[in-house]
């Protein structure tokens, strides 16, 4: 079974630029999560989708972050404009939903200069 795929793996941008991350969850997984992991900390939930609907986006900085999940499968997370404090690893994860075991992708390491 293929795991959660993410791209790109690394991204370096200047502050105020825009960036987008892509995630392809495990086939059949209805629930998709985007987490932000700042160096030395645990993952923090940004947004959770159930199929293509948003379940929780309470910690998403909506003035600069946006996310969508097209047709309940792939998802993109966008930051516009980026700030220095957005430097982090952005992790995508998926689960079957009811079963709840969550599987993470390898992450995208974002550096904002």
Partner 1 sequence: GENVEQHPSTLSVQEGDSAVIKCTYSDSASNYFPWYKQELGKGPQLIIDIRSNVGEKKDQRIAVTLNKTAKHFSLHITETQPEDSAVYFCAASTSGTYKYIFGTGTRLKVLA
- Which residues of this chain interact with partner 1, rule CB under 8 A? 4, 31, 33, 40-45, 48, 55-56, 91, 93, 95, 97, 100-107
Q: What is the Cα–Cα distance from 112 to 59, expressed in whole angstroms?
A: 20
Length of the chain: 113
Q: Are 36 and 57 in contact (CB under 8 A)?
A: no
Closest approach, Cβ 104 to partner 1, in A, equals 4
Residue closer to partner 1 by CB (options 17, 22) is 22
Residue closer to partner 1 by CB (options 24, 95) is 95
Q: What is the Cα–Cα distance from 13 to 57, expressed in whole angstroms?
A: 25
Closest approach, Cβ 87 to partner 1, in A, equals 16
- Name the nearest CA neighbour of 90 among 39, 37, 30: 37
Closest approach, Cβ 34 to partner 1, in A, equals 12
């Amino acid at each position: 079974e293929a795991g959660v795929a993410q791209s790109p793996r690394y991204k370096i941008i200047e502050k105020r630029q825009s960036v987008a991350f892509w995630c392809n969850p495990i086939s059949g997984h209805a629930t998709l999560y985007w987490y932000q992991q700042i160096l030395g900390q645990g993952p923090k939930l940004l947004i959770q989708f159930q199929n293509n609907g948003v379940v929780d986006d309470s910690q998403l900085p909506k003035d600069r972050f946006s996310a969508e999940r097209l047709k309940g499968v792939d998802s993109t997370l966008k930051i516009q404009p980026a700030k220095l404090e957005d430097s982090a690893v952005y992790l995508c994860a998926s689960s079957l939903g009811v079963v709840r075991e969550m599987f993470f992708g390898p992450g995208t390491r974002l550096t904002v200069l």
